């Protein structure tokens, strides 16, 4: 790691938006994940609601998609970009956890991992918001990059996603 | 928990912004936390940068404060509110972790835990963004409410914050 | 109407944000409506989707609620305000129409009719967006104020709402 | 219509932002319209103001242009895009109606009809806002797509625009 | 000045949003100014346009008003607040200058000088944008606070506004 | 200058977003400057803070970068665009002035001078905000374009930047 650097800082440690003017467009995508750990009774309520007409999961999906589009505004040194596809999935895992997976796609000059991570985080926060009246002790865990394609850094796949904090 | 409900859904499971028109103003505050787990070499680089003039931690603090102010725009059913104080602190823990703590304050009719959680999450995402060129495997862990005061639900303090995932 | 004026213009016709500094807070609410006229086959598809798990109506409700919170940013001379309750309802009418009703509430110094109208409009636009792949000829009709309470102008109820364009 | 689908939903009815990563750029434009129906006395006041220096129409034009640029933020599943031209025109029709026409242009991978519809809607809402102190019964009517060019769906022109509700 | 401090930094120099939770509401207002210096021919064009129907000045007024409402989003440590009145005036001065004056009002716990300064700055930038095709050498000068009332710091009036750089 | 026109107005003086649909992409950049004049004691405090860990300059840099990305939202007739690089530098000059320099880059169809000017202005406003508790008489001066490259108008360099108000 000796020759690596924080690309978002100049040689004097000052923040800047990295110059990508001369990079060429490629097809890019990233997948990020998050987990919301809760009491089993809370997950049971979400499941009950989820079936017929409840808006809990739909609201969180929408919030995640919209947050992906605002990543450039939330993360100060992110480049503005025009996402060409976003998908947020939320699935229960065991009896006390919701797993959020966010996929972002782009034909452009910068990667979209921050967009996928932001989508997953905000979807998790939205689920928290909708359930906090019944369970204040929920925890968002394991927000991380699962997979990334396109760009110079090549194909990244996280080893055994989620395994290291269970 | 039998008589609890998801306050953000009406009796048919449809999303709404809860009516707080007739609640009276009280002094409220909430503290939320998050952790960013990284390689020891990454934390060492941040420490080196943090001393003289580096902008890594300052950028994340600013991003967290700004995100707190935008919570109503990010989380669909959150009420707009006028925060009267926000503070984001970032401290290293051990040799591979940054601990983010966000405090939000308000004199108003709704709690500010979502604002504190959003500030902590976005500060963590910003740190991730600034360090991802050197460490793609970082994980945001343990985003949760640590303390909450004001409002009908009384004083909440999380037991042994952070203890359960270490 | 001889002594009425456009309050948003000064004596020389220039736009300004009306000074409400010295008005006192009162409880206010407004209800606005909109209709989305479409082909019967389109409405049939929405109904089919609406039952088990489809997100069409939920997405439009969320979009309407979020737009209400952004009214001050969309309508140049609107005052910023802190809505204390928002509800958006969408119901089919006959075989070719969705009726959107938006309710906004506030304890404050300005009315919330623009917020309710904006919520209804954006919910209708969102429904249009989600259905346009199957029906490009949809029309948004009858966006209007249905009821308004609070403030000096008293209680307003629209006569026979919706009757005049059917 | 049997083989048509709601493109914004996946096979299980869940909202997503449609993947357009592999579509090729083309020149696109869309024209949308809206009508604001009011009392003749209100229109007379606008006409009086419009001539020398009044800001009513200018404010609405600006609001429409700015809203077009924010469509991706208002309509949850819209793609972010970079409009290359926007024009909003407002003309009186008869003695009780303002007709708003919005044109949006783009070289890109997605259509711009939602941008044109949003511009027309927000311009109409802004006119409503500026005139509501003198006329609370105004109605926004006939928000619809008038013309669309570019993209796979070909050239669309609405038949006799506005004819069906007059 | 020996006992003064940067209120936006904590004792270790870290940015924070100052805690105003316990301050009491008062009536506040601030007036800020800016000047846009240009070639006389440019000002002549604006004057010609300003008379009958031109949108140059109206667009700048609107932009200034809207920017005042977004100050909390632009200036990282500003508190969100609900302006109760905004007015932007633009007048020619001599043959080569436009003078922008912005007034902001609030009943609240924080001052509104940043809002007035932001309104004046963005109105000046908007004028620059609209005129830059004919005059690229324009300069925005003398952006400063002219007057401030309300709050603990008392009544401030700038001495001979604009005198010191002419 | 006889054949020049305000490009942002149509033939009747009405605001529009100029149509750039058919312009071809080129590499563009612009540099803008601003000065914040203050009391020598204020600058001394900033210098003291700037060395070890203070966030004053970092906060202003971040605010400038973020404002550049929002220029399309602040300046009504600006085109949305995707900046590919932004840098904001702040240096003291003499004993009573901070000089802000903002560089914006883009591969696109429109110039980025408004983005650079907006970044410089908002960085200056942010510095003002952080220092106003100790010095209310600060003045932002000399906000202007210093250099511009790319596009049909060729290479522009301001003569002796800043010379005329010193």
CB-based contact E145 F122, cutoff 8 Å:
no
Contact C118, C111 (CB under 8 A): no
Q: Quick check: F123 pLDDT over 60? A: yes
- pLDDT of res. F48: 79
Residue A11 falls within a domain, yes or no? Answer: no
Q: Which residue of E has its CA nearest to B107?
A: E21
Q: What percent of chain A has pLDDT over 70?
A: 90
Q: Quick check: F37 pLDDT over 60? A: yes
Q: Is E79 flagged in the annotation as binding?
A: yes
3-state secondary structure of A91: strand
Q: Which residues from chain B sit within 8 angstroms of residue E19, using beta carbons?
A: 84-85, 87, 105
Report, as ranges of residue numbers, the positions in chain B whose pLDDT lies below 70. Answer: 1-4, 49-54, 160-166
CB-based contact F55 B52, cutoff 8 Å:
no
Q: Is F166 a catalytic residue?
A: no
For C12-24, write each residue's pLDDT tens digit.
Answer: 888 899 999 999 8
The structure's pTM equals: 0.94
User: In angstroms, what separates the C-alpha of A42 from chain C's closest C-alpha?
Assistant: 20
Q: Quick check: A25 pLDDT over 60? A: yes
Q: Is D78 flagged in the annotation as binding?
A: yes
User: In angstroms, what separates the C-alpha of D133 from chain A's closest C-alpha?
Assistant: 35
Q: What is the mean pLDDT of residues F122-146?
A: 95
- Give me the CATH number covering residue F78: 3.30.70.640
Question: Which DSSP string corresponds to F29-72?
Answer: EEEEEEEEE--HHHHHHHHHHHTTT--HHHHHHHHHHHHHHTHH
Q: How far apart are CA E5 and CA A52, in angstroms?
A: 58
User: What is the average pLDDT value for chain C, to the nearest integer?
Assistant: 89
3-state secondary structure of E112: coil
Q: Domain of B149?
A: 38-153
Indicate the pLDDT class of residue D163, thresholds 50, 70 and 90: very low
User: What is the average pLDDT value for chain F, to the nearest integer?
Assistant: 89
Q: Which residues from chain E sit within 8 angstroms of residue B149, using beta carbons?
A: none
ipTM: 0.94
Residue E25 falls within a domain, yes or no? Answer: no
Q: The tokens 């998609």 sit on which residue?
A: A65
- pLDDT of res. C3: 47
Residue B7 falls within a domain, yes or no? Answer: no
Residue D138 falls within a domain, yes or no? Answer: yes
- F165 forms beta bridges with none
- pLDDT of res. F151: 80
Residue C21 falls within a domain, yes or no? Answer: no
User: What is the average pLDDT value for chain A, to the nearest integer?
Assistant: 89
Question: Which DSSP string corresponds to B104-117?
Answer: EEEEESS--HHHHH
Residue E124 falls within a domain, yes or no? Answer: yes
Of A47-51, D33-37, D147-151, F30-34, the range with the lowest mean pLDDT is: A47-51
For B100-137, write each residue's pLDDT tens digit.
Answer: 999 999 999 999 999 999 999 999 999 999 999 899 89
| Own/partner pairs, D90-96, CB within 8 angstroms, 24+ separation | D90/D57, D90/D60, D90/D61, D90/D123, D90/D127, D92/D43, D92/D46, D92/D47, D93/D35, D95/D40, D95/D43, D95/D44, D96/D37, D96/D38, D96/D39, D96/D40, D96/D42, D96/D43
CB neighbourhood size of D50 (10 A): 17
Q: What is the mean pLDDT of residues E42-53?
A: 73
Q: What is the mean pLDDT of residues E128-147?
A: 95
Beta strand ranges found along chain F (DSSP E): 26-37, 85-93, 97-108, 139-149, 156-157
Residue F9 falls within a domain, yes or no? Answer: no
How many structural domains does chain C have? 1
List chains adjacent to chain F, taking adjacency as at least 3 C-beta pairs closer than 8 Å.
Answer: A, B, D, E
Q: How far apart are CA B16 and CA A27, in angstroms?
A: 38
Residue F147 falls within a domain, yes or no? Answer: yes
CB-based contact A61 C53, cutoff 8 Å:
no
Could you give the C-alpha distances from D97 to D41, D42, D160, in angstroms and in order? 11, 9, 18
Q: What is the DSSP letter of B81?
A: -
∠ at Cα D136 (D133, D141), nearest 5°?
125
Q: What is the mean pLDDT of residues C36-56?
A: 81
Q: How far apart are CA E30 and CA E104, in angstroms?
A: 5
Q: What is the mean pLDDT of residues E36-47?
A: 94
Q: What is the DSSP letter of A58?
A: H
- Between D50, D53, D62, which is nearest E62 by CB? D62
């Amino acid at each position: 790691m000796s020759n690596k650097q924080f690309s978002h800082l100049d040689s004097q440690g000052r923040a800047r938006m990295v110059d990508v003017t001369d990079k060429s467009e490629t097809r890019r995508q990233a997948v990020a994940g998050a987990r919301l750990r809760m009491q089993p009774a809370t997950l049971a309520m979400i499941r009950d609601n989820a079936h017929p007409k409840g808006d809990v999961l739909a609201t969180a999906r929408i919030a995640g998609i919209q947050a992906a589009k605002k990543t450039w505004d939330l993360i100060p040194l992110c480049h503005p970009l025009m996402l060409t596809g976003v998908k947020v999935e939320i699935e229960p895992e065991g009896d006390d956890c919701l797993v959020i997976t966010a996929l972002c796609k782009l034909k452009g000059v910068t990667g979209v991992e921050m967009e996928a991570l932001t989508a997953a985080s905000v979807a998790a926060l939205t689920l928290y918001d909708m359930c906090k009246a019944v369970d204040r002790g929920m925890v968002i865990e394991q927000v991380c990059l699962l997979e990334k394609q396109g760009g110079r850094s090549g194909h990244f796949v996280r080893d055994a996603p989620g395994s290291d904090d269970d």
